Structure 1
């Protein structure tokens, strides 16, 4: 078998998936012979450069050092990945190694017995990670994954288009933000690109507004009391509606994807919209799907809401990590450790693909916008994981669905709160 990592973006490569999947296979060697041959299934969603190539290179390097190990990769775009992973986990299986955002989704997979507790295997390297990066993969004192990225969602904007519209500096308040949207429209510029079809990018607006208006503690409380009908949550929906009423999104946004040649990222990258609300991977995906803005690309944090209980210093976002299937062989955990070693991981940081998760990696961040994100993260007063990952899967999906309907004008802010609450209570 060729020792190469075959990357695919739209289909599952692994024959093992159709015949049971999720378990690494090994063939015992003859007595006194070479190590047993092991085949590992690795699922991830880094379809854009530089990670697409970097992760392939890491796998080749690992296989070169371990000739008995073959790594078969399945690389899927975000929504396709979520759907495929949901399908296989619902059948009671999991890939040997798979990308995870941690939080409530990973916790549910752990409770279903699908994820390996790697606490003992990684105990020696845990002190090398920053606590914030590790937190999404640890439950009840146990570790179920190692982080490969950490970051925050914020506005990525076109400096040239802002200048054309007479905007001299990024808005620090929500009311100023809405005024800037109006200025962009008046200048004939599409203010915001949005992947309405995929829904998860839209939930960022409601989540951030809930953070700024209700505060982080309210979101954490809602995870316990399952009540999203409180006045501050309704107020967050009202502000999303106030934005949507300005019709700030690109034409056809309801049918737009995120990382396609005509999707949200490319619309910003090609100068057809002034900004997008997206995570730390935005520059890499923009470059991968469009012309790229170069020095014209800027970043600013989600504005403060006047009178809100939350702080502009509170960050919303997450990163990414690698978890190991419950039935995976020991080599799967070893590969996860290999991926997150300083010498290997810092190459991805230097390339601008991820942000530091290891102590002392900060100097590897070269991109000025990503340096700004890293600095804001370092000074963040509080941190909230994406709601569609922090909460149980069904609740997170309802957040995405309801906010999408709110933006489309088919649900009221009150109906959004009620719909999420009903699902949360039924899951609770």
Structure 2
């Protein structure tokens, strides 16, 4: 099986952002009272507003572009609020393109960046925000999805090698629980309504198959026993049923969970690598916090970890300051230290890999990125997801359902849930492809 591995793409290339002729030029250039052009940048990083990080970034940007003011606006419920705001033209000049926008609708909301095949010579992770060969947003960073771990708890429990199978993983969590009954072996973050989607995001790495998502668009039973999604969800069910998660999932607290993982009160959370640095900064010893691949081994005997884009930065098609907005996008992607400052992989090929992920490569884990959808089918998977209403990749809905069943809060069995998911998925394929 041909695999699209990031390691083979890490080639240092000097460049500047290609501003393709397919993008229109700026409209009117209204200036602010100080004679400078002003653009608004809307994003999800609310913590960077409170800690002054965005002020630092804009100061650095102005060293290169002193004639452009950047007004930064951050939103806590970013995807939800932007979905509402994008019903109007008032969603900034530069913004993070939400996943709620369908690929076929990109051109209604977003200024094109350039041709995908040209930009792919310089950037990773363009597939999900490109349509019909045109790229509409550039990844602010590339993240791995796996397990954020307090490795000190594993070491204290005598676990020297991180588990590679679901069975080994459950055994390890039981050992940790026996060693310290007060520790929560795996924290689900059930109440967040976003964190549990990471259980879906691990599927490419767990399977070792970069085409698994594309294959699901024609597989009418992707949740059947023996298939990757079933195995992933069964692990969540079994860990919960064994009492290895928090007692009351409805009371989980995302912000507190980071501190508890740092303090050794939680052993594992399924998350993106973007969270590594956040938790390390809270830990007495940052070396206690590590990142591991999902405990599954591919058919070829290797372990892989999913890597995919974070939010993609984009330009509002309605902006009256497109030229200034493009300069900011160019600077943000090429010149800022966003990937390094957030513990992520740079979307610029060969630019930056965080230490926590480099060490994972040293153990033989290979990074794997999902292959793009075939031409003309860019929106097929998202259309099926929306039609199925099971919340795959988008919400915690199905994962919460699994936890509820494992806790005994409902009368459903695991097999009942998987049968229902297959039925809904199959019906959605028929509906979308008829």
Which TM-score tier does this pair reach, normalised by the shorter chain?
0.7 to 0.9
Q: Is the 8 A contact 2:122 2:349 kept in 1?
A: yes
Given that 1:154 and 1:300 are in contact with CA atoms closer than 8 Å, whether structure 2 keeps it comes out as yes
Counterpart position of 1:110? 106
Q: Which has the higher helix share?
A: 1
CA distance 1:83–1:406, change in 2 (3 Å): same
**Mapped contact 2:145–2:271 kept (Cα < 8 A):** yes
8 Å contact 2:93–2:315 — kept in the other structure?
Answer: yes
Listed as ranges, the gaps of 5+ residues in structure 2 are 1-25, 373-378
Instruction: Please give the per-residue CA displacement for 1:351-389, whole angstroms capped at 9, x wherever unaligned.
Output: 454322223314xx4x5313235778994355379xx99
1:191 — aligned with what? 185
Distance in structure 2 (CA, Å) of the matches to 1:156 and 1:359? 25
Give the structure-1-normalised TM-score: 0.75
Judged with a 3 Å threshold, the aligned counterparts in structure 2 of structure 1 residues 180 and 90 are, in CA distance, closer, same or farther, namely: farther
Which residue in 2 is equivalent to 1:83? 80
Q: CA deviation at 1:40?
A: 1.8
Deviation at 1:164, TM superposition (A): 2.2
Residues of 2 paired with 1:223 and 1:165: CA distance? 42
1:59 CA drift (Å): 2.1
**Aligned counterparts of 1:109 and 1:293: Cα–Cα separation in 2:** 46
Structure 1 pair 129/256, CA: closer, same or farther in 2 (3 Å)?
A: farther
Judge conservation of contact 1:39–1:69 (CA < 8 Å) in 2: yes
Question: Matches of residues 156-305 of structure 1 in structure 2 within 5 Å?
Answer: 156-187=148-179, 188=181, 189-208=183-202, 212=206, 215-224=209-218, 228-231=222-225, 232=227, 233-258=229-254, 260=255, 262=256, 264-287=257-280, 290-291=282-283, 293-305=285-297
Alignment root-mean-square deviation, CA? 3.9
Q: Does 1:360 align with 2:355?
A: no
> Could you say which residue in structure 2 is the equivalent of 1:119?
114
**1:41 aligned counterpart, secondary structure:** strand
Are positions 1:391 and 2:382 aligned together?
yes
Shift of 1:194: 2.3
The answer to whether the Cα contact below 8 Å between 1:234 and 1:414 also exists between their aligned partners in 2 is: no
Alignment correspondent of 1:137: 129
Tell me the CA shift for residue 143 of structure 1.
1.6
The answer to whether the 8 Å contact 2:48/2:54 transfers is no
Deviation at 1:268, TM superposition (A): 0.8
Q: Deviations over 1:244-303 (max 9, x none)?
A: 212222343333242x2x2x3222122210111111111222246x44541111222112
Q: Deviations over 1:85-120 (max 9, x none)?
A: 111224466432112376x84625405x11111217
Matched length? 382
Q: Post-superposition shift, 1:26?
A: 4.1
What is the CA distance between 1:142 and its match in structure 2?
1.1
In structure 1, the residue matched to 2:421 is 416
Unaligned runs of 5+ in 1: 1-22
